[in-house]
Amino acid sequence: MDPRFTDIQNHPENEIFAVVFYPDRIYHAEYLNATRSSRYRYYVHEVRNKMDITVMKGQVFLDGNYLTNFVRIEYRAGRLVEQAREKERFLRDNVMAYLRLTSKDATTTADGTVRLHFCNWINAYQVELWESLEPPATKRHDIKVQSLMGRDGHIAHHRQFDVLLDKIDDIKQVELAFSESDIDKPTGYKINNQQWDNDYFRSYQVPNTQTPSAPENTVKVDNYMLDFQRGWFFDDVGKEVLPVRYQNAMTEPVSADYRDPQQNPLANIIEMRWVLQREMGSSIVYFHEVTIPPGTVEGTHRHIGSEELYYIFEGDGIAYMGANDDPKMANDPRYPIREVDIFGIGKLPVREVAVHPRSVIYTKSGGIHGIRNLSPDKPLRFVAFGYHSA
């Protein structure tokens, strides 16, 4: 780790940056495979996280000299543990990962299956892919590190990834899906129905057509995706991102807000501009802009295991929140109780709240929300973050 990080952050006026920028310290000082020998040092160029996954890329140095480029995968396996448990199995010491690397210009890709090993030091499964396992001509690997090396080792080399590891900064996207090991330990039996954590068949939205609720706008994927692009700028989302249109969003035919598409194919249509989806890290699923046209409604619904935040920036309307979700609303006549249809649940009591520019609705797991535009001629617009609770 560069000692300047310590010098800078030890200044009292910079104490806040020790919190905001703490990964600068962690990823230059944490336990990586070759650090069990003091002869090796890592320079971590970039780190990306999504759910239980951490991917790093950078360089390895031996005795102070550049040795090789690397990509490191760490996986905490929370979802895969549950998948295996349903089959009455434990994960044991290894899991498998399907890995796909893509270059910045998307012209170069490489994929394959790699084995991850459980590491007690980080309490996670991990593997490091090195561009080369060969030491310099005048050097030898430390035996403590060399014992970890091999095609299926903690430090692995897979020839198909060399072309991308050679230019480590050009790796833009890493796609991953994880499965149980192919061998059940300690019995030694082959597992023929390996369970997968592939982002639970996540999909993302693309405006391939402006037909409301068209299936062509939903793209199904079976992998997690971590993006190493460092920034995105949109000069005008309204011009640069086409909307995906939905009819009767979060409403059912039994709901009072439902409009029969056969009778009126243009009734109760809302628009969502999906600004960022798979590009986002951590547990964030999406950031999008929602337009509720005059007289339409986004059906009232509940999130379980996820959270969502609405920030209204244009228009006025009525929102609904679970009757007891925000205690400060109790006994306040400004927030009367109504009974409305909740998507997939039935009728429940909610609080009716007036919303306008700068109103915020924040819904935790188990909370209820929906929003209605009562204006006869003006749209209601808000931006929304959706993310998993854990």
CATH 2.60.120.10 domain position(s) in the chain: 230-388
Tens digits of residue pLDDT in 276-307: 999 999 888 899 999 999 999 999 999 898 99
What average pLDDT does range 359-368 have in this prediction? 96
Contacts of residue 270, Cβ cutoff 8 Å, sequence gap at least 6:
245, 246, 249, 290, 291, 292, 293, 296, 297, 298
Which residues does residue 180 pair with via DSSP β-bridges, in sequence order?
95
Give the total residue count for the chain.
390
CATH classification for the domain delimited by 230-388, as one of 3.40.50.300, 3.40.50.970, 2.60.120.10, 3.10.50.40:
2.60.120.10
State the pLDDT at residue 26: 47
What's the start-to-end Cα distance of the chain, in Å?
A: 30
Which residues does residue 94 pair with via DSSP β-bridges, in sequence order?
117
Q: How many CA atoms lie within 13 A of 224 on its CB side?
A: 28
Please answer whether residues 249 and 270 qualify as being in contact, where contact means their C-beta atoms are separated by less than 8 angstroms: yes
> For strand 171-180 and strand 94-103, is the pairing parallel, antiparallel, or unpaired?
antiparallel
Portion of the chain with pLDDT greater than 90, in percent: 79
Please tell me the distance from the alpha carbon of residue 1 to that of residue 341, in angstroms, as a whole number: 56
State the pLDDT at residue 25: 45
Using CB atoms within 10 A of its CB, is residue 341 exposed (0-12), middle (13-18) or buried (19+)? buried
State the pLDDT at residue 23: 46
Kindly indicate the confidence band of residue 7, based on its pLDDT and cuts at 50, 70 and 90: low
Kindly indicate the confidence band of residue 2, based on its pLDDT and cuts at 50, 70 and 90: low
Tens digits of residue pLDDT in 244-255: 999 999 999 999
Kindly indicate the confidence band of residue 199, based on its pLDDT and cuts at 50, 70 and 90: confident
Tens digits of residue pLDDT in 92-136: 899 999 999 999 999 999 999 999 999 998 899 999 999 999 999
Q: Which amino acid is at 13?
A: E
Q: Is the pLDDT assigned to residue 21 strictly greater than 50?
A: no
State the pLDDT at residue 1: 46
DSSP state, 236? -
What average pLDDT does range 259-288 have in this prediction? 93
Q: Which amino acid is at 142?
A: D
Which residues does residue 130 pair with via DSSP β-bridges, in sequence order?
70
Please tell me the distance from the alpha carbon of residue 305 to that of residue 43, in angstroms, as a whole number: 36
Tens digits of residue pLDDT in 218-234: 999 989 999 999 999 99
Q: Taking all residues of the chain, what is their mean pLDDT, rounded to a whole number?
A: 91
Measure the CA dihedral 264/266/272/273, to 10°: 160
Kindly indicate the confidence band of residue 236, based on its pLDDT and cuts at 50, 70 and 90: very high
Contacts of residue 344, Cβ cutoff 8 Å, sequence gap at least 6:
252, 301, 302
State the pLDDT at residue 43: 86
Contacts of residue 4, Cβ cutoff 8 Å, sequence gap at least 6:
none
User: What tokens appear for 324 in the block?
Assistant: 């007891």
